[in-house]
Amino acid sequence: MLSARFVDVGLLEPALFHATYAAIAYAAEDDAPPVVMWGRARAHLSLGQSQDRAAELAPVVDVPIVTRPLGGGVVWIDESLTELAELLRPGGRRAVPHGIRLNAAACPTERREGGRVVREITVDGAVVKHAVTAA
């Protein structure tokens, strides 16, 4: 049976959010279980590693801007987005081995039950992560 390690980082400040997933991926050992990070960040614009702020954004932007350690375009991230990230090791090696499908098949959910917050990750209809915290 294949196993995975789920890391719930909670709600983080923008720079710490991006530094956290980069650090988790960098620290992963080749023979360690795959790592999937679940987390949220406060509102910000996230620029790809090679993007130029002056070329991409208006001169005055009233939200934090963070350049993430990955490529890609400008992305709006706020507290309403729950990020489920399959982490890749340095050099692009997959942290999730073949046989575990976490791309489109993974479904993160969050709901309130009374004074509790229930977070679950479902893969192909089966709950693979269940966490309950105080609201």
Say what the pLDDT of residue 14 is: 92
Output the tens digit of pLDDT for each of the chain's 135 residues. 556 778 888 899 999 998 888 888 778 777 777 777 888 899 888 888 888 888 887 777 788 889 988 778 888 888 877 666 655 554 544 444 333 333 334 556 677 788 887 776 665 566 655 566 665
Domain 5-100, architecture per CATH: 2-Layer Sandwich (3.30)
**Residue 81 to residues 11, 27, 108, 128: CA-CA distances in angstroms?**
10, 25, 10, 20
Calpha distance 45→31 (Å, rounded): 35
Return the half-sphere exposure (C-beta side, CA atoms, 13 A cut-off) of residue 102: 26
3-state secondary structure at position 109: strand
pTM: 0.62
| pLDDT for res 102 | 39
Cα–Cα distances in Å, from 54 out to 5, 50, 62, 64, 66? 39, 12, 14, 14, 13
pLDDT value of position 12: 92
Domain ranges of the chain: 5-100
DSSP-derived letter for residue 43 is S
Q: Alpha helix (H) ranges present in the chain?
A: 14-27, 53-56
Q: What integer pLDDT is reported at residue 4 of this predicted model?
A: 72
Cα–Cα distance between 87 and 25 in angstroms, integer? 6
Helix (H/G/I), strand (E/B), else coil: 119? strand
Whether 116 and 135 have beta carbons less than 8 Å apart is answered as yes
